[in-house]
């Protein structure tokens, strides 16, 4: 799995974000493009400690196996559970300024990549290294960019 701490990988993600437009439609799921950008921006606030989300129900598998899937397997297209704070659809978060949302996401990625420290624990799987945060956040961002065809 790619890692956002690799400069080439980060640039690839930023380039894909630039390919989005205000009228880009989702290939699956309920979010519109602005909700997607906000969802992704908020997700970068977790490893930097700016957002402490509510614990999700434990998955029906051992933590070590769930960790493996989080870090090494592309998420399913639909029905993946998210922290309730990040669910822009159910929380009726519907930003209207596409450019502001896109710029906020790009800044969130830069802030994440330049953060001197990240939180040492992932609420779902326990102890988590900086490298693991880079892989997880690549995987999550890639998933949602593929959702919108970029």
1: in domain: no
**Counted domains in the chain:** 1
Determine, yes or no, domain membership for 89.
yes
Q: How far from 1 is each of 81, 99, 140, CA to CA, in Å? A: 21, 29, 11
Examine residue 127 and state whether it is found in any structural domain, yes or no.
Answer: yes
pTM, two decimals, is 0.90
Closest CA to 85 of 28, 122, 50, 43: 43
Q: Which structural domain, as residue segments, surrounds residue 34? A: 7-147
Average pLDDT over residues 5-10: 98
- Look at residue 26 and tell me if it is in a domain: yes
In a domain, 141, yes or no: yes
Tokens of 44: 């970068």
Q: Tell me the three-class secondary structure of the chain, residue by residue.
A: CCCCCCHHHHHHHHHHHHCCCCCCCCCCCCCCHHHHHHHHHHHCCCCCCCCCCCCCCCCCCCHHHHHHHHHHCCCCCCCCCCCHHHCCCCCCCCCCCHHHHHHHHHHHHHHHHHCCCCCCEECCCEECCHHHHHHHHHHHHHHHHHHCCC
pLDDT at 56: 67
Asked if residue 2 is part of any domain, the answer here is no
Tens digit of each residue's pLDDT (9 = 90 or more) over 88-122: 988 899 999 999 999 999 999 999 999 999 999 88
43 is a domain residue: yes
Question: Is 112 a member of any domain?
Answer: yes
| Angle between the N-to-C axes of helices 98-114 and 7-18, in degrees from 0 to 180, rounded to the nearest 10 | 170
């Amino acid at each position: 799995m790619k890692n956002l701490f690799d400069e080439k990988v980060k640039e690839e993600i930023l380039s894909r974000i630039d390919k989005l437009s205000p009228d880009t439609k989702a290939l699956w799921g309920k979010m519109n493009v602005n909700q997607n950008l906000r969802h992704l921006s908020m997700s970068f606030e977790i490893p930097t400690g700016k957002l402490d989300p509510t614990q999700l129900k434990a998955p029906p598998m051992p933590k070590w196996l769930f960790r493996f899937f989080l870090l090494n397997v592309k998420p399913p297209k639909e029905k993946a559970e998210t922290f309730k704070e990040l669910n822009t659809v159910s929380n009726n978060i519907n930003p209207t300024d596409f450019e502001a949302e896109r710029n906020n996401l790009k800044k969130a990625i830069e802030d994440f990549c330049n953060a001197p420290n990240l939180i040492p624990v992932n609420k779902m799987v326990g102890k988590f290294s900086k490298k693991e945060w880079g892989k997880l956040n690549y995987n999550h961002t890639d998933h949602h960019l593929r959702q919108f065809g970029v």
